[in-house]
């Protein structure tokens, strides 16, 4: 049976600082804290998008274009997910009753998003769904970018040009930069500092 590609938005929410957090802290408490944080991400993103897969320190999700009620809804989900993540990390930090390195290091964790619009195939194997396609590969490659290196930002939302244009969002408030990947070529991206969004959301 021939599978037809679908068109929609692909989103990868990736916890920044995960590797060093796990390497330098007590594994039991680190694992528990990360489980709470991943659950928070899944809860917020899963209210609109379909969760494709949990990938260690990241959540991969997608939504078929016709199922998105309006473009603004996706931007709002990203904002609300980031806000919930930061608040959860702070709550875990403040509620910790032990002085271990894992609990003390919770505020160092951050969250970054990669957002792209493209095509994908849904493959079902042993009852589990997996997404395939060049655009699926791209969204994962985008997690390795130069944003932190060029800006110092650890929490940000990175949109491909295709993603932002389909959302019909004003690009003037985003930082434009180009990433390049083997076999995929150059990718025009637009990045938003989520720390600024976080302060704005708290103020409102």
Check residue 1 and give its pLDDT: 45
How much is the pTM? 0.91
User: Is 169 within a domain?
Assistant: yes
Chain mean position to CA 89? 16
Q: What angle do CA 21, 25, 30 make, to 5 degrees?
A: 70
Check residue 27 and give its pLDDT: 61
Check residue 97 and give its pLDDT: 66
Check residue 100 and give its pLDDT: 64
* Segment (H or E) for 189: strand 185-193
Q: Which residues pair with 178 in a beta bridge?
A: 188
Q: By C-alpha distance, which of 85, 122, 92 is closest to 106?
A: 92
Q: What is the CATH number of the domain that holds 45?
A: 3.30.70.1230
Mean pLDDT by 10 residues, the chain (204 residues): 82 82 60 86 96 91 92 94 93 74 75 97 79 95 95 96 92 95 94 95 88
User: Is 57 within a domain?
Assistant: yes
Chain mean position to CA 97? 30
Local structure of 83: helix, strand or coil:
helix
User: Is 53 within a domain?
Assistant: yes
User: Is 68 within a domain?
Assistant: yes
Domain that holds residue 162: 6-203
User: Is 18 within a domain?
Assistant: yes
Q: Are 28 and 121 in contact (CB under 8 A)?
A: no
Number of domains forming the structure of the chain: 1
Spatial neighbors of 61 by CB under 8 A, at least 6 apart, are: 10, 11, 12, 13, 45, 46, 49, 50, 51, 52
Q: Are 61 and 46 in contact (CB under 8 A)?
A: yes
User: Is 96 within a domain?
Assistant: yes
User: Is 24 within a domain?
Assistant: yes
User: For the chain, where are the alpha helices, taking DSSP H only?
Assistant: 18-24, 27-45, 71-95, 101-104, 134-141, 147-151, 161-166, 194-203
User: Is 1 within a domain?
Assistant: no
Phi-psi region of 49 (alpha: psi -120 to 50; beta: other; left: phi over 0): beta
Check residue 16 and give its pLDDT: 81
Check residue 21 and give its pLDDT: 60
pLDDT digits (tens, 9 = 90+) for 24-65: 555 666 677 788 899 999 999 999 999 999 988 899 999 999
């Amino acid at each position: 049976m021939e599978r037809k590609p679908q068109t929609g938005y692909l989103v990868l929410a990736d916890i920044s600082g995960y590797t060093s957090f796990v390497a330098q802290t007590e594994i039991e408490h680190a694992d528990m804290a990360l489980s709470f944080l991943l659950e928070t991400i899944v809860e917020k993103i899963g209210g609109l998008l379909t969760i494709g897969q949990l990938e260690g320190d990241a959540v991969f999700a997608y939504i078929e274009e016709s199922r998105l009620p309006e473009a603004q809804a996706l931007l709002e989900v990203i904002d609300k997910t980031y806000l919930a993540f930061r608040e959860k990390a702070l709550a875990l930090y403040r509620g910790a009753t032990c002085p271990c390195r894992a609990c003390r290091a919770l505020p160092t964790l951050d969250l970054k998003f990669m957002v792209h619009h493209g095509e994908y195939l849904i493959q079902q194997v042993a009852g589990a769904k997996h997404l395939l396609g060049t655009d699926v590969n791209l969204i994962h490659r985008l997690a390795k970018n130069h944003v932190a290196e060029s800006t110092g930002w650890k929490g940000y939302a990175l949109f491909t040009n295709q993603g932002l244009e389909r959302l019909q969002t004003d690009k003037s408030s985003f930082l434009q930069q180009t990433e390049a990947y083997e076999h995929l070529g150059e990718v025009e991206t637009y990045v938003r500092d989520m720390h600024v969004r976080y302060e704005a959301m708290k103020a409102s």
